[in-house]
Amino acid sequence: MVNEGSQNNDGRCSGNEPEGDRNIVSDVRANADRRTFLKGTGAVGLAASAGCLGGSSSGDAPSGTFTVGVLTSHTGTENPIGNSIARSAELAAEELNADGGVLGNDVEVSVKTTNEQPQRGKTKYEELTVSEDVDFTTGVFTSEVLLNIMDSIASQQKVHMTAGAATPEASTMLTEDYEQYKYWFRTGPVNAHFLGANMVDFAEANFSDMGWDSVYVLTEDYTWTEPVDEVLRNQLADAGVEVAGMKRYAGETSDFSTIYDQVEASGADAAFVAMAHSGSTAIVQYAKQQRPFAFGGIHVPMQLPSYWSLVNGACAYGITQNTATPESEITEKTVPYAEAYNEKVGKYPVYTGYIAYDAVKQYAAAAESADSRNPDDIVSELESSSFTGTAGTLRYYGQDEEYPHDIVYDETGENGVNPLWLQWKPNEDGDGGSQTAIYPDNLASGSYESPPWV
């Protein structure tokens, strides 16, 4: 259920972005140092920046129609991740309007596409908040785009609830300067550190029964996998798992044969992976070569409900972490949302859809509870709220915790969200395949099956 990340350690983006949009992470870290300096000198620059942009302050809340600004990667029907963000926000708005709107006002959605380019994301964010004066914003799939709009969020003082990007660097900014960045929240997924922690928790609870006594860790070389890699490196062994090897590979890898040779030679029972951009190439070659080890971890493409047909069944017996499957009754809202989305769009959503839908609904509930559209009032409501969403119980870490305003990760699922794990299995009638939830136990509709060639 992750994301994302269009950038590797060298600061190179993978899309068609112009040269000027690249190397944004190093720029952001440099800006962080600059912010520390500004904080020490009274942060005069922040107020000046807000004035130059002409945006609202927290004391100048929008009025009239309640408008949701959405930043998504792409909206074409061939891009399910971006399309799920946009269409889910629209679905939430339709349902709110059918129930009387928010504070007696109709709800509208304005969608802008970032094309996963940091500078374009910043421009579109400012169009939403300055030109259109939206109430709040959600979306943002890539970490690089999120990091590039964090200062704009601070300047505009409008609540942003991220639905997609996983970098912990955003919440670290609140640790460094809470008052400046307090308008930022991450509704989901759990940040990249907790994505790794959940992989360890899954391993500790299930690997023994799955026959995965030893694993070879494969992570694609992008920014979002760095915290995941660190957690696996430091904690897998403590969970009783033998780590036969670890490898970060280039995200542009087109031939996994040599890498799979290394996994096979190590004698590992499985390749434990974190991959997004390179995921389809990796799983298709794995299935074609039928290597003598199992395969799974965080595999973003396998999260798509329509993935079986997209890769002609190559995902068979692969497992992945996810937010939900369309049949998963995580809360009483999960399945009704998935069915409503399918009725609206003609297919089921991916993880970003669940999160964007939850963000709009939770923000509306906070506004109603506060009886206010003032961003400072909404921030206070969100910080103290516990909201039942489609993805679980939505709570946020507090100001004094390690990851302020990040969605709370709770392995029990009672006081936060807990990712779900699924396995792709062939249908019994031989017609296609389906996602079977295998963990946590209370949501499992089946158990793990080893690939027949292993």
Q: Tell me, what's the pLDDT at 276?
A: 85
Separation between Cα atoms, residue 271 and residue 286, nearest integer Å: 10
Mean pLDDT, residues 387-416 = 96
Amino acid in position 198: N
Q: How confident is the model at residue 438, as a pLDDT?
A: 98
Q: Collapsing DSSP states into helix, strand and coil, what is residue 335?
A: helix
> What's the confidence (pLDDT) of residue 344?
96
The mean pLDDT of 144-157, rounded to a whole number, is 96
For residues 132-156, average pLDDT = 95
**Per residue in 386-396, pLDDT tens?**
999 999 999 99
Residue 112 bridge partners (DSSP): 71
Whole-number percent of the chain with pLDDT over 70? 86
Residue 243 is which amino acid?
A: V
At 75 the pLDDT is 67
Q: Which pLDDT score, from 0 to 100, does residue 46 have?
A: 29
Cis peptide before 305 (omega within 30 of 0): no
Q: What was the pLDDT predicted at 3?
A: 40
pLDDT tens digits for range 368-386: 999 999 999 999 999 999 9
pLDDT surpassing 50 at residue 8: no
Q: What is the model's pTM? A: 0.85
What pLDDT sits at residue 16? Answer: 30
Of 68-77, 121-130, 195-204, 345-354, the range with the lowest mean pLDDT is: 68-77
Question: Taking all residues of the chain, what is their mean pLDDT, rounded to a whole number?
Answer: 87
> Between β-strands 433-439 and 136-139, what pairing exists: parallel, antiparallel or unpaired?
unpaired
pLDDT digits 0-9 by tens, 20-74: 332 233 333 333 333 332 332 222 222 333 333 334 444 456 779 999 999 998 7
How many Cα atoms within 13 Å fall on the side-chain side of residue 186? 35
Round to whole Å and give the CA distance between 30 and 106: 42
* pLDDT level of residue 76 (50, 70, 90 thresholds): low
Provide the β-strand partners of residue 425.
Answer: 434
Q: How confident is the model at residue 37, as a pLDDT?
A: 28
Q: What pLDDT does residue 17 have? A: 31
The predicted-structure confidence for 162-190, as pLDDT tens digits, reads as follows 999 999 999 999 999 999 999 999 999 99
Task: Using the predicted structure, report yes or no on whether residue 2 has a pLDDT greater than 50.
Answer: no
pLDDT at 13 over 80: no
pLDDT of 410 > 70? The answer is yes
* Residue 60 confidence (pLDDT): 59
Overall residue count recorded for the chain in this entry: 454
Quickly count: other Cβ atoms within 10 Å of residue 259's Cβ.
17
C-alpha span between 176 and 117 (Å, rounded)? 26
Residue 449 has pLDDT above 70, yes or no: yes
Residue 415 DSSP label: S
Per-residue pLDDT tens for 235-286? 999 999 999 999 999 989 999 999 999 999 999 999 999 998 899 999 999 9
What residue type is assigned to position 75 of the chain? T
323-332, pLDDT tens digit by residue?
999 999 999 9
Quick check: 129 pLDDT over 70?
A: yes
Q: Is the pLDDT of residue 404 over 80?
A: yes
How far, in Å, CA of 175 to CA of 173, rounded? 5
Backbone angles phi, psi at 314, to 5 degrees: -65, -20
Instruction: Return the pLDDT at 430.
Output: 82
Percentage with pLDDT > 90 across the chain: 79
